[in-house]
Structures are given as structure tokens and as C-alpha cells.
Chain A
């Protein structure tokens, strides 16, 4: 296993569309292992796409289990992932290991249905929400050459409040 070098914007490879994986072989297992090591070496990193290390294949890892009090699927290896359905939307703040020193607000679906293969090529369906759904959408975007800075929304006209503490009837 090896920690891979992360591409950072404006590297043009981050804007390329990744190819589907067709060979579920030892080379793929190695790529997944290296990606995971690279992701876990980055503070706060909860996901990585193969595109971020210049490997243009549709391979993503997401693991948001370090975040307390949210629903999640643990360590997710998503090969050739496809979103089947989504609903709801919410603004949230995102950062990216490939876009250092910058964060921005992005609208994402709050609920997702997803199909993806694992390292062995077996297909799985997932239903997910919230933080994990956001992370997955961010990573899937990488496979299509899309960065969160392609999806920034204006904070000044932020109409989509997150869960918040509202005033109860005051007397």
C-alpha cells in the first residue's frame, strides 16, 4: 500500500470524466487500498475519488463513521456508482482535499438511492441521507470532472436554512 499524491486544482485532470471499471482484479484492489490510505491520511477527509489521484476510473471511497450522531453505512467502496433517485435539497458547507484553502456553500440532495459495485464486482443498493449523502454526491461529481466550486451558491441569498433553533411563542 502507498499513500498517493493528491491532485489539486487547477490540475486539468480533475476536470476529466472517469471511465467505468470493467476489471475487478488485483490492480483494482491495490488502487482501493491506496485510495483508502490516502483518504485516511488527510485530516477530516471522509471521502476520496480515484480522479483525485489522477486515476480516471469510477472508484470512490466514503466513510463518514467518524462523525457522531448521524446515520451512515460505515466504510463504503463504491465502484461504478449511479444515483437512482434523490429527494430534498439543503445547502451545506464543503471543502475538498483537491481545492485547498477554500470552502463554499453547495446545494445537495438530502436523500439518495444509490447503486454501486464493490471491489469484487458485486452490486449493492444503498439508501442514505444527510452528511453521508452529501459526501457521496461530492465524490460522484469528481468522477464526472465536477468540483464543488462548479456548484457554489450565493450565501447572500441563502434561502435554504438548515436545521435550526427557532423561537417558540414568546409572551
Chain B
């Protein structure tokens, strides 16, 4: 079985990046796995699993021309990963407050110490230039149980009174 590669493409956002990149891969016989593609700070970012080729060099050869044309930074790594390795999050943390340094570090350090395994984190800065606010959503697994996270949350709220932090279980309904 051919290996998977993690392809990273980042550059100034413009219309058509996804279509052009994926079409080129498709025309060359590559297939795609899981991917995250989103705009961050005016840049468009792609991280995606690409399969169907046998070496990093071949994939780089395919992608280099389009990366140059679209002014995208390109990075390709052979990875050990496979599809169907999903883990189910059981907790969601939402944090927001007036933007300042250290929000992510302080919150995630306390949560990590209480056993949170982060599966997904996304954050955004909103507001106006003079008064930005920071918003962060985390989904993860409470590896040391729910009450450890509750205790950590209370500590965060006490030590970082400028932040609004919510902890909520993700209840899975399987049918």
C-alpha cells in the first residue's frame, strides 16, 4: 500500500486555490484523505493527506509549479498516519476575552495538567483594532475525567478573571 503524505500549502488568499491544487493532484492520479483548509489572517492554509504517490519527490514535482504560480509555500512530509483513526471528543471548551498575550498558553496549560487531550483547537481575533477580543474553541478528550477539568476550570477563572471560560460535555448520541 502506498504511503500517505501531509501536504502543507500556505499563501496570500485568492479565489481558486483549492480547485486548482486539487484538480492538479487529481489529474496526476493522487487521492485525498482528511484535510483542513481555511483562511487565517488573509492567508489561505491547506493541510491535507495526499496518497497515490510513492515518494515525497514525486509529489513535490507535481505541486511545485502550481505553488509557484499561486505564490504558496509548499511542504510535503511522508507520514505514518492512516484514515479511520478518529478519536471522539467528549468535552468542549470555549474561551473568550479582551485580547492579550498568554490566553492560549494559560488556559491550555491548566487543561493539559488536568488531562485534556486536545483534538481540535481553533481561535480567532475579532473586534476592532483598538479593542480586539480573542475567541477560542477546543474539543478534546478528558483523559482524567470530567471533575479534574472542572477543578482546572475553577482555577483558570480565579487566576484569569478577565476571561470567560465555558466547559461543556459533548454528549454523543449514536443511532
> A-side interface residues toward B, CB under 8 Å?
42, 44-49, 62, 92-97, 101-103, 131, 134-135, 138-139, 155-156, 158, 161-167, 170-171
Contacts and interface: CB of A to CB of B under 8 A. Distances in A.
12 contacts: A46-B175, A48-B175, A93-B172, A94-B174, A102-B86, A103-B172, A138-B175, A158-B137, A161-B94, A162-B169, A165-B166, A165-B168
A171 B158 CA distance: 9
B122 interface: yes
A48 B169 CA distance: 24
Given A165-B153, A166-B166, A167-B165, A92 B173 contact: yes
Interface in B146-172: 150, 153, 157-158, 161, 164-172
A131 B164 CA distance: 27
Nearest to A100: B84
A35 B88 CA distance: 26
A92 B171 CA distance: 7
Contact of B86 (A44, A92, A97, A101): A101
A155 B140 CA distance: 13
Contacts of B166: 161, 164-166
B173 A162 contact: no
Contacts of B172: 44, 93-95, 103
A45 B174 contact: yes
A95 B169 CA distance: 16
Q: Chain B interface residue count: which class? A: 20 to 34
Given A102-B86, A156-B122, A156-B137, A161 B168 contact: yes
A58 to B, nearest CB: 16
Interface in B81-126: 84, 86, 88-89, 92, 94, 120, 122
A135 B175 contact: yes
Contacts of B150: 165
B114 to A, nearest CB: 14
B175 A165 contact: no
A62 B150 CA distance: 32
B139 A96 contact: no
A50 B81 CA distance: 36
Given A101-B84, A161-B94, A131 B167 contact: no
A93 B170 contact: yes
B39 to A, nearest CB: 11
A131 B171 contact: yes
Given A46-B173, A95-B173, A101-B84, 8 more contacts: A95-B88, A96-B174, A101-B86, A134-B173, A138-B173, A156-B137, A161-B168, A170-B158
